[in-house]
Chains A and B, each alone.
Chain A
Amino acid sequence: MRILLVEDDAEVARFVRKGLQEAGHNVEHAANGRDGLFLAASEQFDILVLDRMLPGGVDGVRLVETLRGQGNRTPVLFLSALSAVDERVKGLKAGGDDYLVKPFAFAELLARVEALGRRPTVEAPATRLKIADLEMDLLSRTVTRGGKRLEIQPREFRLLEHLMRHAGQVVTRTMLLEKVWDYHFDPQTNVIDVHVSRLRQKVDKGFDKPLIHTVRNAGYMIRAEG
């Protein structure tokens, strides 16, 4: 993917850029909002990673507002040291698609970047999701594996759906917390792990090929090969 990183802190920028390049992405970097806006407006990117506060008169929010005003719909991930809820709301309102508070683990950033970048641009209303022999029917809200119906509770269904929509991508615990439960707080306990392990019991137990994988230091991933 072609990624534009707008970040004024040289060390963070270097670290993020290196990490993304190692993950196989092509990264352009701008150190201030003005240059960032120029690049974002003049070239094609798959995703923009923006610091919320930037020097040079154009901060992250202004940059996104300007781009969205020009009809540019490139997905935007905000990086910010501001964790207050209204800051997050402000960022998302301006047209940001995701919001990550500093300090962050690189794995978290990468997972979010890939989730955003590979998001289907046209929200095709898929009615079925399929990974190997695991099938999900979104209309009848049923899940089968190898033709056998799995007893799945509504919340587990949503959890599995989220994993399946991002098949082959790492989904972090925070992402699951935010996207599946819409919680933006620290649950104190490894609740997400417990939920995933319960789901895993239902999906993988009794089948020789596990589909839900734990990615060390990052999160979970559902994929066929493993």
Chain B
Amino acid sequence: MPGTLEALLRFLRSAGFRFAVRFALIFIGATAVFALVFWYATAGSLDRQTDAALRTDALSLVERWREAGSAAVAEAIGERLASDVEGNSIYLLINPEGRRLAGNLDRWPQGVPAGTDWAFDTVQRDGLTTEARLNVMELGNGYRLAVGRDVTEKQRLRDLLAEGIAWSAFAALIFAVTGAAVLRRALEQRLLPAAQTAEAIASGDLSHRVPLSPRNDEFDRLGQSMNAMLDRIDRLMEGIRGVSDSIAHDLRTPIARARAKLEEAVVGPDDPETLRAAMERGITDLDNITRVFEALLRIAEAEAGSRRAAFAPIDLAPVLADVAEFYGVVAESRGQSLETDLPAALETVGDRDLLAQAAGNLIDNALKFAPEGGRVRLTARALPRERIEIAVEDSGPGLAPEDRARAGTRFFRADSSRATPGSGLGLSLVQAVARLHGGDLVLEDAPEELGGTPGLRATIRIGPA
């Protein structure tokens, strides 16, 4: 029993039920308003017509009274009664003693309270009681006039109307309840896929997505939002998994190396110089591990998109010029040339430090791969729709097409570049930064004019997607 009660309570508390009740109430309310208007326009209008006719009639009799006295009024009443084909008219004129002077009522109606001139009263007709509408007037000197109408017919019409309205109200109620139930069910049905997906996700299976209908309605939009959210969560999880994989694979190696060196030093000769040198190497190794770690965290930070909160409007032109100047000295020291082709201003919204680092990484990579005396070129230009393209080209050996696809993955190093120093995280970071800014990293052959065999052209396009 408590179970059923609880189920009932849950049903009563459900949003579907509340929507349904609201729907039913609105529907019933609308029906009631409709009935009221209908009633006012039909039965009410009939009543008002009757009253108006009675009033006019009574007033014309009063006028007659003023002009010609009681005998004339009695004659007029007689005339009116004589030509009342419908047989609904009621008149009564009495003198101060209460005697009837004219009319077709046998006595003054009792149902008219003193002081009012309008009343519904019952009168006898053919031995039956019928309803009459009466307008009563004091004519002066104690003469009184009642003008009325037998409204039985109209009453019957009213009853008929009332009955009709009652039936339609009942039908409306049934419609409301059925409609509410249908609404509730439809709501439940439409929410079911989302609910099921959420349940599946909650139980750990992140691959589920809300199936969308071709209707593209509110529920589909909710589903789309949910799916977008899930994709995002998926990507974050992917990022975390990527970081932990990287840590597992690529931090272990340098840690193992550092550990081996230190262990070797411990069991090696007791010469203080050797020991010191080993310890210094150990510290350098640890520093390198920290750098890799920092780089990984930074990539994860960019991939997670948490830095989007730090986005601000920036002019990329001076930022890129600074970066070029910063790395320019390196190029110079290696006998390479770093050329720039930047516009006067490049307005965008982004993270200055990350964009500078990304451009720096590209330049750094290019400088590492370009030969001595080689050329590296940094260009940037505005694209339509507020997008920006930043490209770094070099005259190095380039990258084999099959390696390009893997270049953005963490710790990727083309076999041909094993000898070059670097963590293998540079391009991953560039890619993460580009994606954070709504773009991507594209690797292709550098133009012929730079020389190279051919060299590599790394392009990032950023801006509102």
Contact = CB atoms under 8 A, between A and B. Distances in A.
Q: Report if A and B touch in the complex (beta carbons < 8 A).
A: yes
A185 B364 contact: no
Given A83-B294, A187-B360, A188-B364, A195 B329 contact: yes
B102 to A, nearest CB: 102
A184 B310 CA distance: 14
A194 B329 contact: yes
B160 to A, nearest CB: 77
B306 A84 contact: yes
B210 interface: no
Contact of B327 (A89, A191, A198): A191
Contacts of A101: 294
A191 B356 CA distance: 14
B301 A85 contact: yes
A186 B294 contact: yes
A84 B301 contact: yes
Contacts of A85: 301, 307, 310, 353
Contacts of A187: 326-327, 360, 364
A181 interface: yes
B396 to A, nearest CB: 15
Interface in A39-93: 83-86, 89
Nearest to A181: B326
Contacts of B237: none
Interface in B291-324: 291, 294-295, 297-298, 301, 306-307, 309-310, 322
A128 interface: no
A149 interface: no
B4 interface: no
A163 to B, nearest CB: 16
Interface residues of A, number: 22
B426 interface: yes
A86 B283 CA distance: 28
B333 A105 contact: no
Given A85-B301, A191-B330, A186 B322 contact: no
B436 to A, nearest CB: 12
A17 B61 CA distance: 120
B290 interface: yes
Interface in A158-200: 181, 183-189, 191, 194-195, 197-198
B422 interface: yes
A186 B327 contact: no
B353 A183 contact: yes
Given A105-B287, A187-B364, A189-B364, A86 B310 contact: yes
A86 B309 contact: yes
A105 B330 CA distance: 25
Contact of B330 (A185, A186, A189): A189
A206 to B, nearest CB: 20
Contacts of A105: 283, 287
A103 interface: yes
Contacts of B322: 181
Contacts, number: 63
Contacts of A183: 326, 353, 356-357, 360
A119 interface: no
Contacts of B330: 189, 191, 194
Contact of B422 (A185, A188, A191): A188
Interface string B355-397: 0110011001001100000000000000000000000000000
A209 interface: no
Nearest to A177: B326
Contacts of A84: 297, 301, 306
Contacts of A141: none
A65 to B, nearest CB: 21
Contacts of B298: 185
A155 B318 CA distance: 13
Contacts of A83: 294, 297
Nearest to B298: A185
Contacts of B329: 191, 194-195, 198
B286 interface: yes
B325 interface: yes
A10 B357 CA distance: 36
Nearest to B351: A85
Contacts of B301: 84-85
Q: Which 7 A-B pairs have the closest CB atoms?
A: A185-B357, A194-B329, A188-B364, A194-B333, A194-B330, A184-B353, A189-B364
28 contacts: A83-B294, A83-B297, A85-B307, A85-B353, A86-B310, A89-B310, A103-B286, A105-B283, A105-B287, A155-B325, A181-B326, A183-B353, A183-B357, A185-B298, A185-B353, A185-B354, A185-B356, A186-B294, A188-B360, A188-B361, A188-B364, A188-B422, A189-B330, A189-B364, A189-B368, A191-B329, A191-B330, A194-B330
Interface of B: 283, 286-287, 290-291, 294-295, 297-298, 301, 306-307, 309-310, 322, 325-327, 329-330, 333, 353-354, 356-357, 360-361, 364, 367-368, 422-423, 426
Interface of A: 83-86, 89, 101, 103, 105, 155, 181, 183-189, 191, 194-195, 197-198
Given A181-B322, A187-B364, 12 more contacts: A83-B294, A83-B297, A84-B297, A86-B307, A183-B326, A189-B367, A189-B368, A191-B326, A191-B327, A191-B329, A195-B329, A198-B329
